[in-house]
Amino acid sequence: MATHTSNNAQKRLAVLIDADNAPAAIVEGLFEEIAKYGVASVKRIYGDWTGPHLGGWKKVLLDHSIQPIQQFAYTKGKNATDSSLIIDAMDLLYTRRFDGFCLVSSDSDFTRLASRLREEGLTVYGFGEEKTPKPFVAACDKFIYIELLREDVVAPTNGEPSTASAAAPDVAKPAVAEPSKKPKAPVGFIAKIMDDIADEDGWAHLGALGANITKLRPEFDPRTHGYKKLSDLIKGYPQAFELQARDTSGGTAVMYARHKQPSK
């Protein structure tokens, strides 16, 4: 009989990558991000490895213990890779050994797969470009835009992608202007969620706030707006929110946030 990990243990995750719809430049940031949610017990990547277009991935497979799955393009214009990934996902699902799946692709063809995995009670983390169709984003429990991962591992140049460790110092200079391009945070949306879950004094537990935001907008990420964490984002809008740290009996600090109501 299959059992899942307890709440105190790290989740066992199956990472399935669509090589045709994910750049190799994200590999470092990808697995650093996945490590926040659990252990990548299975790491597979799908594509036609006989062609030259996946050369970037070939260079990093061994370093990250990613198993390449060969899938020939049987018919021009048809993506056999998607079918292979979906079949493997269902096989892994029925082993009952996993707590969640990481689907790395910007392809809307995986929308139904994400929904099906969630129907079985598993957590689905999606990773794709900002152009990813909304239905796939909404089908995941959480969706991380890979542009955020690329910022940490590759400089925004028009040349071949390279990891930060290999990049020359002057290559990263264009990233200095990046913060000015960040979109404004959805203050009104955050305030509404905060008010909905707040106590009688208007304070909301920051962890609960983040969880409720993600339920409604799986793609929400403070990094999209130039902040490392949700607490940093809250601090960044002092005209709208205030933050409070409360000490618990165990000596640890718990963060609470409150929406500043406009003065009449």
Tens digit of each residue's pLDDT (9 = 90 or more) over 131-167: 999 999 999 999 999 999 875 443 333 333 433 433 4
d(CA 164, CA 84): 32
For the chain, the straight-line distance linking the first and the last C-alpha, in angstroms and rounded, comes to 61
The amino acid sitting at 66 is I
Superfamily of domain 11-175: 5'-nuclease (3.40.50.1010)
Overall average pLDDT of the 50-59 stretch: 88
pLDDT of residue 248: 78
Q: Other C-beta atoms within 10 Å of 138: how many?
A: 16
* 25-34, 89-98, 157-166: segment of lowest average pLDDT: 157-166
Largest Cα separation within the chain, whole Å, is 68
Q: How confident is the model at residue 80 (pLDDT cuts 50, 70, 90)?
A: low
* Cβ proximity of 56 and 161 under 8 Å: yes
Structure tokens at 29: 């940031």
pLDDT of residue 107: 92
d(CA 98, CA 118): 12
Instruction: Answer with the residue of higher pLDDT: 116 or 173.
Output: 116
pLDDT of residue 249: 76
Helix/strand/coil for 246: strand
Quote the mean pLDDT of the chain.
Answer: 84
Examine the pLDDT at 5 and tell me if it is beyond 60.
Answer: no
* Cβ proximity of 123 and 141 under 8 Å: yes
pLDDT of residue 250: 72
Structure tokens at 43: 């790491």
pLDDT of residue 74: 56
Q: Kindly list the domain boundaries of the chain, sorted by start residue.
A: 11-175, 187-259
- Structural fold of domain 187-259: Nucleotidyltransferase; domain 5 (3.30.420)
pTM confidence score: 0.76
pLDDT of residue 9: 61
Examine the pLDDT at 210 and tell me if it is beyond 70.
Answer: yes
